[in-house]
Structure 1
Amino acid sequence: MLKFLSLSVLLLGATVAHAERGMLDWADLIDEAAQSYEDPYRDLSAEQLTALVEVATMQSQLAATLDDDQRSELTQRLTDVKVAFAEDGIDADWLIAQRWVVAERRRNAAWAGDQAVDGQTVTLGGYAIPAPADQDGVPTLYLVPERGMCSHMPPPPPNQMVRVRLVGDWRPKTIYEPVRLTGQMTVVPTEREVIVVDGPVRMQAAFTMEAIEVEPLAFTGQTSAEGNAWAEQMAQRLRGVKGQDLNEN
């Protein structure tokens, strides 16, 4: 009997440990190795970035048909801006030539999901954005880490968005409904257009989850005076803090 109880305790401990390992934060979805890349724009000041855009614009204008006076004035302005860059040790022409290279690096970093979660059954909390059903009829939603994303705020990078295929009867009653989902996560990039609050939004998700459990979280719509306390309480619930009563208001 004692041996049986000891084995039960060990199995219970292993189950709890496994569940804790399956609870993810949003930062766990990012492939950190892919975030280190050369970006020559990163150290430019706001003024330098504005000036660089001006250089690119003037170069484009010079390629158009201009009269002699316009061309002379534009050429002088362009020379002055490039000289200012050179005084700071910056090659403006090289920077402009790098723009598509850097854009591709940034895109790759934004789409890079951590392969360690691929195929794993995990739990993740966030805010649900209702979406149309998939072609096979399975209802879907998008899970994002913050309220307002994709409508009042820009969409998150793809490695911070999860396309979720739902099971059971639960559906979000409203946009940004707080929820905690458990299911098998795969690194399967998807893109599609979804109508959100302000119109169509291109939803780019690096992950797909096949949900097996849905845990709606309380949303009480507190006043602004209670906002900070509510935000902290919701953050705790989304992180799955031990001992937190999910039905508590």
Structure 2
Amino acid sequence: MLKFLSLSVLLLGATVAHAERGMLDWADLIDEAAQSYEDPYRDLSAEQLTALVEVARMQSQLTATSDDDQRSELGQRLSDAKTALAEDGVDADWLISQRWVAAERRRNAAWAGDADVDGQIVTLGGYVIPAPADQDGVATVYLVPERGMCSHVPPPPPNQMVRVRLNSDWRPQTIYEPVRLTGQIAVVPTEREVVVVDGPVRMQAAFTMEATKVEPLAFAGAMSAGGKAWVEKMTQQLRDKEGDGLNED
């Protein structure tokens, strides 16, 4: 009987440990395995990306026009641009053919949430963006890593945004109010449009949380180290978006 009780206590302890993950960093939400993928645009310089986008645009214009003079001019400019890229070792036609493949890989990486946190009771700090209540009347917000995201700077990747249902009496008094939330988090992707500051923003979140505890935090006078790292990453994010510009037909 004692052995049975001891085993029961051990199993119960293991279950509680699994269910209560505790304090998370934002990096804990990312499925790191999904971040390693082949991106043919990654090593291109800004100038090469710009030239590649121009080639894609000229190809589209060449297809659309029937004017012989325009076609001749565009054809020559297109040939010159491809030759210049080829001299840099860049195969423009092949790269343009890979645009949808690369876009899908980036999307998958951006949405990939760490399955290890799915269903866990966690605590996560960040900044809230008020959102409309759910159909059942429960108040909702979005939690993001830094102030200004989705308005002053682009939204974070979906795996760095949490859609939160507030199962408490607390409500945000302003946008980007700093808080620490505790509740059950789940890898449940959602998309909806929310008005943020100057207009509607497509909010794409890889996670949802049923928050049962809210701890308001004091506003920090300076951006955190995580925020600075995020800003530094924005250059690469925008550079990647230039590659997405090749999707124009």
What range is the shorter-chain TM-score in?
0.7 to 0.9
**Structure 2 unaligned blocks of 5 or more:** 1-13, 229-249
Partner of 2:77: 77
List aligned pairs for 1:178-193, cutoff 5 A: 178-193=178-193
Contact 2:127/2:179 (8 A) holds in 1? yes
1:33 pairs with 2:20 = no
Q: Residue 18 and residue 67 in structure 1: after superposition, are their counterparts in 2 closer, same or farther (change >3 A)?
A: closer
| TM-score normalised per structure 1 | 0.81
Cα deviations across residues 174-205 of structure 1 (Å, max 9, x unaligned)? 00000000000000000001111011111000
Q: Aligned partners of 1:184 and 1:34: how far apart in 2? A: 23
Task: Indicate the larger mover: 18-27 or 177-186.
Answer: 18-27
Q: Deviations over 1:146-196 (max 9, x none)?
A: 000011111100000000001121001000000000000000000001111
Matched, 1:171 2:168: no
Q: Count residues with an aligned counterpart.
A: 215
1:102-141 counterparts in 2 under 5 A? 102-141=102-141
Give the C-alpha shift of residue 20 in structure 1: 9.1
Question: With CA pairs under 8 Å and 6+ residues apart, which has the higher RCO, 1 or 2?
Answer: 2
Distance change in 2, residues 1:33/1:152 (3 Å): same
Aligned to 2:143: 143
Q: CA deviation at 1:58?
A: 0.6
Query: Which deviates more, 85-94 or 208-217?
Result: 85-94
Deviation of 1:68 (Å) = 2.0
Larger Rg belongs to: 1
Percent identical across equivalent pairs? 84
The CA distance in 2 between the partners of 1:133 and 1:20, in whole Å, is 27
Gap regions ≥5 residues in structure 1: 1-13, 236-249
| Cα displacement (A) at 1:218 | 1.6
Instruction: Describe the SS at the equivalent of 2:142.
Output: strand
Residue 53 of structure 1 aligns with which residue?
53
Distance 2:67 2:199 in 1: 43
Distance of 2:82 and 2:195 partners within structure 1 = 44
Q: CA deviation at 1:19?
A: 10
Q: CA-to-partner distance for each residue in 1:32-61, whole Å, 9 max, x for gaps?
A: 000010100000000000000111011011
1:63 aligns to what SS in structure 2? helix
Alpha-carbon deviation of 1:21? Answer: 4.7
Q: Give deviations 1:221-247, integer Å, cap 9, x for gaps.
A: 75xxxx46xx57x99xxxxxxxxxxxx
Partner of 1:205: 205
Q: Deviations over 1:70-120 (max 9, x none)?
A: 211111111111111221222100100100110000000000000000000
Structure 1 counterpart of 2:214: 214
- What is the TM-score with the length of structure 2 in the denominator? 0.81
SS of the equivalent of 2:170 reads: coil
Question: Cα distance 1:115–1:173, how it changes in 2: closer, same or farther (>3 A)?
Answer: same
- For the aligned residue pairs, the C-alpha RMSD in angstroms reads 2.4
Equivalent AA in structure 2 for residue 94 of structure 1: W
Secondary structure, in 3 states, of the residue corresponding to 2:44?
Answer: coil
Instruction: For 1:172 and 1:185, locate their aligned partners in 2 and report how far apart those are by CA, in whole Å.
Output: 20
Provide runs of 4+ in structure 1 moved above 3 Å. Answer: 17-21
Partner of 1:242: none
User: Could you tell me which amino acid in structure 2 is paired with residue 76 of structure 1?
Assistant: Q
Give the residue type in structure 2 aligned to 1:133: A
Amino acid at match of 1:69: D
Instruction: Output the CA distance in 2 between the equivalents of 1:139 and 1:88.
Output: 54
